[in-house]
Amino acid sequence: MGDPYSDFYWQDGYGIFSVSPKRADTVVDYIKNQHIHHQKMSFKDEFRPFLKNYDIDFDDRNVWG
């Protein structure tokens, strides 16, 4: 069957995270409006605290290429 996420991307480099079904509507709304949100805060400025909050080790050189 292959990897179900092999065609899931919108840019080079991405991550996949799960979300509780109870929060799915919140995530869908965020995705629909992220172009507005990212006019106020860059993706990088939003993503770094997310990674830190969930104790995900990262190196800026590896995350941003």
Q: Where are the domains positioned within the chain?
A: 21-63
Positive or negative, the CA dihedral 33, 36, 40, 44 is positive
Q: How confident is the model at residue 46, as a pLDDT?
A: 83
Q: How far is CA 50 from the centre of its chain?
A: 9
* C-alpha pair distances (Å), 7 with each of 11, 27, 28, 50: 11, 20, 19, 24
pTM of the predicted model, to two decimals?
0.47
User: pLDDT tens for residues 6-44?
Assistant: 776 666 666 677 889 999 999 899 889 888 877 888 888
Give the C-alpha distances (Å, rounded to integers) separating 49 from 22, 29, 40: 23, 20, 16
Tell me, what's the pLDDT at 60? Answer: 82
pLDDT of residue 8: 67
